[in-house]
Structure 1
Amino acid sequence: MKIALVQDGLMCRAGGEQVALCFHKAFPDAPVYTQCYQPDLTFPEFRDCDIHTTWLQNIAKTDEMMKRLFFPLGVWAMESHDLTAYDVILMSGTHCAKYVKVRPDALVISYSFTPFRLAWDPESYAQYANAGPLKRMVFDAVLSRLRKVDFDFGQRPDFYVGMTTETAERLRKTYKPLAPIDIINPPVNVANFYVSDQPKDYFLVVSRLEYYKKVDLVIDAFNELGYPLVIVGKGLQADEIKARAKSNVKFLSGLSAQQLADVYAGCRAFIFPQHEDYGITPLEANAAGRPVIAYKAGGVLATQIPVNHNPAQATALYFNNQTVADLIDAVKRYERIEKEFDPAFIRSHAEGFDEAIFIDRIRQFVKAKADEHAKKTSVTAG
């Protein structure tokens, strides 16, 4: 079985890149094909991989620039990857991995985080949501074409793998695959984090600074509360988001793995305000023994244990509406039960999502589908 791995891009340290790194650990001899790769911007372990980039590498030097150039340059760039020599293609991402050239008889498996957000959920982008009538008309014309292209290439995978039942249903509705969609929860590298017996006085957000992540909501709430807040991340809306913060809010970026672990271990609680497809960061907070204050929607419903009557057997406290008032209320509720959470229990919960479990499951899934595919191909050839 000759296998190739495909990832949208390797330009930052986020959940998608963690999944791609686990694919490499599952199949260490397989080459990795991607749009662009900047070693200093992503996980250092990728330096040991056999990575193949596109000509877009010469233009896009940051994750933000790569995203801006995606349509049509990113599409054309990924189409230049010729993977017809491979029997199995294991891809991960949301948008451009599916554009690589493959053999008609190759087995294609897509670990898809969600349908391409820009094409199918443009309202989640500030540039679209805030566009005037004329600009919206141009956006709609481009997005109509993009949806058609994305759907057509979305037929390439023989199997989709989803992160949660919610994201699997989105994939089902968008691409209408014939095969059932299996669910394998994304991993957290628990070994990268530790539990501190002396957390500090700040609350924490780790996120890209983009409006659909709702970091601005957290800033507005903590501007009113006046509590110390640390925000780790960067992104397309960084300048606007930073401009609204008061002096109690501190921004960090470019942290080493050890520095990030320290920041997680020291927080009072982790704030997660967005409706995320999955969300690795709440599990990273759990790996550091820290509880999560989360908006009650999306991936956290699959990864967290909410406070009911016993905080000692919980990992998260939810709030129901993405409003400043609801978040402030959740922080106040958390303060009343803060000392009842059990860091050891929270850490143990995160271990159930460890990357070793993910690697084993993805390896078994690919092997089983490859064996089935080989038998089917053999019967057809015969």
Structure 2
Amino acid sequence: MESIRVAIVHEWLENWAGSELVIEQLIKCYPDAKIFAVVDFLSPKDRARLGGREIQTSFIQKLPFARKLFRHYLGLMPLAVEQWDLAGFDVVISSHHAVAKGVITGPDQLHVSYVHSPMRYAWDFQNTYLRQSGMHHGLRGLYIRWLFHRLRNWDVRAAAGVDAFIANSHYIARRIRKTWRRDAAVIPPPVNLERFSVAQQKKDYYVVVSRLVPYKRIDLVVEAFRNMPERKLIVIGGGTDLELVRERAGGAPNITIKGHVSDSELQSTLGGARAFVYAGEEDFGISLVEAQASGTPVIAYGRGGACDIVQPGVTGLLFDTQSAESIVAAVQEFEKHEQNMTPELCHQNALRFSEDLFRSRFTAFVEQEWREFMPSRSYDRI
């Protein structure tokens, strides 16, 4: 596909996270691709990971207070992505969790959408989002419900313009099927496994690494370990739920809340832990793969992307209910079989999610879709 012109469409560029890791690898797949994003506020350090290339942004980039409040312009984002002129490209690849797949393409353009998630807050997580943000009552809540209604209608229309979907997990593939009535191939996102190595010796503590936000349910992990004072827990990460997590910890001496740490400390802490404990329902769960790459078993809620990552009884354990009681029972069950979940097995399991495998799987998928797309395009030109 050397002569094929490629455009990569991303939602927004603000901080370096999982979706930006995908863009970084897509650029390696298609070095000459042009990148489009609703806004671009990356730091110079993060921009270097994109080769320092110019990003084509939308009109939202120049709206008042966009740097800090661009998410407040969500209602304008469908209009923004529809304004880009992509006529000069043969293949359009959208990296989607909100509006990116809504770009307009023509009958001679192949549109492949890599989906991190359908809009959670507009679809099946709407009521949860409204409750957690305090907007489930009043005029503001009514406005948000009306906005989400309009976004859902637009979202279904936008999905019809995509030629092929790729989901980052089987869980997201099911959500795509439920939301848009479309099938999706599954290609796990890339994880930089080279950062992590298997520790020579485990220590006597458990760990969780996560943004401290409501749906991650770190509060449940902390509550569970407060009820297990003989077991140590280290919490790494920051976010809006930091004070709630500290409150749930209640000053328990067996729980250490570290906030953000250096990369070297993260690596050593993950590698030394008996197990990584996680209670959130993730679309995929890169931190779970990082734990496995460190040779650390994972104890996780058995919904979402964790089911694609953890091999129960071999590299970890899955529990059925999001509750502190279920976490306590899962930790106790894990300790009965801990000797079977060796660091080597965990590390080997993580290799399924390498950056090299992502690139080879993704390019093979796009090339196959292009070969199938070409005959119809040629026929239209006769």
String of CA shifts for 1:27-85, please: whole Å, max 9, x gaps: 122122222341368585224444333344454446xx44x324224334434433222
Q: Deviation at 1:11?
A: 2.4
String of CA shifts for 1:194-227, please: whole Å, max 9, x gaps: 1111333332222222211111211222233244
Of 246, 266, 283, 1:277 maps to 283
Aligned to 2:258: 251
String of CA shifts for 1:202-253, please: whole Å, max 9, x gaps: 3222222221111121122223324433333333444444444344231322
| Mapped partners of 2:245, 2:86: distance in 1 | 41
Instruction: Determine if contact 1:21/1:46 at 8 Å carries over to the other structure.
Output: yes
Q: Secondary structure at the match of 1:347?
A: helix
Which amino acid letter does the alignment assign opposite residue 294 of structure 1?
A
Q: Deviation at 1:117?
A: 0.5
| Mapped partners of 1:223, 1:43: distance in 2 | 41
| Mapped partners of 1:34, 1:160: distance in 2 | 19
Q: Secondary structure at the match of 1:22?
A: helix
What are the within-5 Å matches in structure 2 for residues 219-298 of structure 1?
A: 219-226=222-229, 227-247=231-251, 248-253=255-260, 255-256=262-263, 258-298=264-304
* 1:242/1:381 CA distance change after superposition, 3 Å: farther
Instruction: Determine if contact 1:195/1:288 at 8 Å carries over to the other structure.
Output: yes
Structure 1 stretch displaced more, 365-374 or 48-57: 48-57
| Mapped partners of 2:7, 2:195: distance in 1 | 27
Q: Secondary structure at the match of 2:322?
A: coil
Aligned to 1:310: none
Structure 1 stretch displaced more, 52-61 or 186-195: 52-61
Instruction: Determine if contact 1:126/1:212 at 8 Å carries over to the other structure.
Output: no
Q: Percent identity?
A: 31
Q: Secondary structure at the match of 1:358?
A: helix
Q: Deviation at 1:360?
A: 0.3
Question: Which consecutive unaligned segments of at least 5 residues does structure 2 have?
Answer: none
Aligned to 1:337: 337
TM-score by length of 1: 0.87
String of CA shifts for 1:304-350, please: whole Å, max 9, x gaps: 1101xxxxxx1111221111111112122223433442101111111
String of CA shifts for 1:137-177, please: whole Å, max 9, x gaps: 33322221121122222222111112233321221221234
| Mapped partners of 1:14, 1:104: distance in 2 | 33
Aligned residues: 370
Aligned to 2:381: 381
Aligned to 2:145: 140
Aligned to 2:17: 14
Structure 1 stretch displaced more, 184-193 or 232-241: 232-241
* 1:126/1:214 CA distance change after superposition, 3 Å: farther
Q: Secondary structure at the match of 2:98?
A: coil
What are the within-5 Å matches in structure 2 for residues 314-333 of structure 1?
A: 314-333=314-333
Instruction: Determine if contact 1:5/1:91 at 8 Å carries over to the other structure.
Output: yes
Instruction: Determine if contact 2:316/2:334 at 8 Å carries over to the other structure.
Output: no
Of 188, 191, 200, 1:185 maps to 188
String of CA shifts for 1:347-369, please: whole Å, max 9, x gaps: 11111221211100101111121
Aligned to 1:95: 98
Structure 1 stretch displaced more, 352-361 or 31-40: 31-40
Aligned to 1:46: 50
| Mapped partners of 2:83, 2:131: distance in 1 | 29
Aligned to 1:119: 122
Aligned to 2:199: 196
Q: Deviation at 1:101?
A: 4.2
| Mapped partners of 2:16, 2:277: distance in 1 | 19
String of CA shifts for 1:85-105, please: whole Å, max 9, x gaps: 211111112112123343343
Question: Which consecutive unaligned segments of at least 5 residues does structure 1 have?
Answer: 308-313
Aligned to 1:368: 368
